A and B are shown apart, each in its own frame.
Chain A
Amino acid sequence: SYVLTQPPSVSVAPGKTAMITCGGNNIGSESVHWYQQKPGQAPVLVSYYDSDRPSGIPERFSGSNSGNTATLIISRVEAGDEADYYCQVWDSNIDHVVFGGGTKLTVL
């Protein structure tokens, strides 16, 4: 089955740009979605269809997807962005949802 690989952790200083990657075989041909999960809370969709933003999500959140890597980009990082982030695709070969292992974003 399809495997999505994320780095366990990423650290960034406030005001800088965080880039969280999601690796997969030819992931550029898939639609990639991203979720933010803060401690004790349910995940929240922050990016879908590679780079679209749900209503209410700040423009600081954006996405890209090409080749074997998709990336969630968080500009002008704030302390409130500290959370776990998960990428997700739909594996159309066997019709099921796949999540990446998650990345913990630490704001220094």
Chain B
Amino acid sequence: QLQLQESGPGLVKPSETLSLTCTVSGGSISSSSYYWGWIRQPPGKGLEWIGNIYYRGSTYYNPSLKSRVTISVDTSKNQFSLKLNSVSAADTAVYYCGRLEGDYWYFDLWGRGTLVTVSS
């Protein structure tokens, strides 16, 4: 059974870069049927899509974050990663990784999420 697990620092200083990794287990990230994505949720607020990546490296980003976001994939490690630079307190959120079905574009699997706090 495929599972996703987020990992990375829980505390990041303002103006620095937030870096998270999602490890896919129980299946291959190199599937032609899926994309892999990041979603975040500020405390007490709704879901915000950050971006997606295909195993071959093509990406889609939320226009509101595009200038600060990079999503990459490492098929040898079955992982994909998120980098968000120049963070501020507004980037404090639970960050989820997910598997995005590529025909109708829905997240059918989610990681448990990891809280990242931006604070000095």
Q: Which A positions have Cβ atoms within 8 angstroms of B?
A: 1, 31, 33, 35, 37, 41-45, 48-49, 54, 86, 88-90, 94-102
Contact = CB atoms under 8 A, between A and B. Distances in A.
Interface string B33-64: 00001010000001111001000000011110
Given A31-B105, A88-B106, 4 more contacts: A41-B112, A86-B46, A90-B105, A101-B46
Contact of B104 (A35, A42, A90, A101): A90
Interface residues of B, number: 23
Contacts of A31: 104-106
A69 B110 CA distance: 26
Nearest to B47: A99
Contact of B106 (A1, A33, A95, A96): A33
B7 to A, nearest CB: 15
Given A33-B104, A42-B110, A45-B108, A97 B52 contact: yes
Given A44-B110, A86-B46, A102-B46, A96 B104 contact: no
A97 B62 CA distance: 8
A48 to B, nearest CB: 5
Nearest to A50: B104
